[in-house]
Structure 1
Amino acid sequence: MKSHLNTSLEPPKLTNSELSKRKNLDRAPRPRLASTIVLTHGPKNKLKILMGKRSIKHDFMPSVYVFPGGRVDKSDSYAKYTGELSMRTKTILETAYNSRKARALVLASLRETYEETSLMIGRKEDHKTNSKSTWNEFYKAGLTPSLDGIEVFGRAITPPHRHKRFDAWFFIKNIDTKRLPDISDTAELEDVAWFTFEQIWELNLQRATKMMLNALVEYLNFQSLPSNIFFSRAERGKFITDTYPKA
């Protein structure tokens, strides 16, 4: 029975071009907190995953397929919510942040999912609010974002040579419905669809996405979930993969 993380997943090495860019930066930008969620549907042997292609107009990772996600906004810390995080996910996140920020990190992934794919994940509840944030769209639809069933499985910090850097946390949630939820293209993502693993590996993927897909496959093979997660980052020109928190 598999019960521990394989930290020997081979990380990509920095190319000479990337090393040169890193050296030419006066100062590496500070990573911004970000959140990504892998939404799955169906049994493990027929799993489908929600992804979309970033617009060519994006200056960060254009024209590649990604999971829904993005920066954590201030509004995420004050959004109404229902449900609770699992003790495992709560413990891992609160090793790094207080409870409000940990919760905001998860909520951000749900907000970004709506903004990028038009899919709202929540529970039916009536609201009276005039929030100016994206969350108002949830409230007008009679939904409260739900934390139930969301688990954390990875973390990746963008290397210092990038002009934009993120401290991205990766979550997973299975959509337990008989039919695939409705989705649509947005200004953020094109070709939004539910893909099988076989289809995903044929898409144009950024190498960090490939690495996190491997971490996802490993996570899905666990019989019992580990108390830590896959963690990738770069230090002194080298990629490092281990766990967070450290075992």
Structure 2
Amino acid sequence: MSAAQDAPALSPRALVPRDAGTLIVVDRSGPEPKVLMGRRHEGVAFMPGKFVFPGGRVEADDGRVNVAGTYPPHVENRLQARVRRPSITRARAYGLAAVRELAEETGILIGDPDAGPFQPRGSSWDAFAKAGVFPSLESFVAVARAITPPGRPRRFDARFFATDASAIGGTVDGLVTAETELVEIVWVTLDDARKLDLPAITKQVLLDLTERLDIGFERDAPLPFYPKGSAGERELI
């Protein structure tokens, strides 16, 4: 999402949560895992100045983008729980929105650079075609799901994914500036991440991520769900 898309919304009472995808890129090559985080512009309406994981709302074509690899079966199944009219296309859209938003906000392209030519659906995916990176969901694990509480200027039904940094297939330089939605990106350990200026839900998801790292990305596990944001009860789906 651009800063322009974060312009003040209409009455918060009328806001229905929009499906969204957020991606946590984890670098496990060193002695301690590090995660990629970005600091949001002070001028945006939603979480100004906070450090967050890159992500944003699902767009109409996200679920129909071709991929080099799909989710592991257990991830696909978890994403279709507690959803009206669940489908594989809709579940795929959550992850692809996260991939697209990560690329738009940071220039990091998640995918396979050796899977052959990628034909983009819409200009939002041109960076992948130009870089020769075919988007992939194969490395994804579902970490959490949370719905923004009522009364906020933006409301999302967000799925938080994690992937290893080895899934990065390419990068585009120069996308993070003083005028963009994310004005700074950093790689930080989980302990250092908790010391940043974080939204409450991001603090909670960091705890969920720690649990997921202990369990192992490749294993199936219940998905933490916060239907009222991080202040509400934690359910497992």
User: How high is the TM-score relative to the length of structure 2?
Assistant: 0.82
Counterpart residue number, 1:8: none
Residue 133 (str. 1) matches residue 127 (str. 2): no
Larger CA Rg, structure 1 vs 2? 1
Please, which moves more after superposition, 128-137 or 187-196? 128-137
Residue 90 (str. 1) matches residue 83 (str. 2): no
Query: In the alignment, residue 192 of structure 2 is paired with which amino acid?
Result: Q
Q: Does the C-alpha gap of structure 1 residues 231 and 45 become closer, same or farther in structure 2, counting only changes over 3 Å?
A: farther
Whole-angstrom CA distance in 2 between matches of 1:141 and 1:68 = 20
Counterpart residue number, 1:105: 94
Counterpart residue number, 2:184: 191
Residue 119 (str. 1) matches residue 113 (str. 2): no
**Cα deviation, residue 29, structure 1:** 1.6
**Cα deviation, residue 45, structure 1:** 4.3
**Cα deviation, residue 153, structure 1:** 1.4
**Cα deviation, residue 31, structure 1:** 0.5
Please, which moves more after superposition, 181-190 or 213-222? 181-190
**Cα deviation, residue 183, structure 1:** 6.4
Whole-angstrom CA distance in 2 between matches of 1:89 and 1:101 = 13
User: Which structure 2 residue ranges, 5 or more long, are not aligned?
Assistant: 1-10
Larger RCO of the pair (alpha carbons < 8 Å, separation 6+): 1
Residue 168 (str. 1) matches residue 158 (str. 2): yes
**Cα deviation, residue 225, structure 1:** 3.4
Question: Which of residues 224, 230, 237 is equivalent to 1:230?
Answer: 224
**Cα deviation, residue 94, structure 1:** 2.4
**Cα deviation, residue 227, structure 1:** 3.6
Query: In the alignment, residue 201 of structure 1 is paired with which amino acid?
Result: R
User: How high is the TM-score relative to the length of structure 1?
Assistant: 0.79
Q: Kindly report the root-mean-square deviation, in angstroms, between the aligned alpha carbons of the 2 structures.
A: 2.6
**Cα deviation, residue 226, structure 1:** 4.2
How many residues of Structure 1 are paired with residues of Structure 2 in the alignment? Answer: 217
Q: Does the C-alpha gap of structure 1 residues 128 and 159 become closer, same or farther in structure 2, counting only changes over 3 Å?
A: closer
Whole-angstrom CA distance in 2 between matches of 1:101 and 1:26 = 25
Counterpart residue number, 1:212: 205
User: Which structure 1 residue ranges, 5 or more long, are not aligned?
Assistant: 1-24
Deviating 4+ runs (over 4 angstroms): 128-131, 180-184
Aligned to 1:85, the other structure's residue is in SS state: coil
* Alpha carbons 1:153, 1:216 under 8 Å: kept: yes
Whole-angstrom CA distance in 2 between matches of 1:140 and 1:182 = 10
Question: Which of residues 202, 205, 209 is equivalent to 2:195?
Answer: 202
**Identity of matched residues, %:** 33
Whole-angstrom CA distance in 2 between matches of 1:200 and 1:128 = 35
1:103-130 deviation per Cα after TM superposition (whole angstroms, max 9, x unaligned): 1111111101101111111112443747
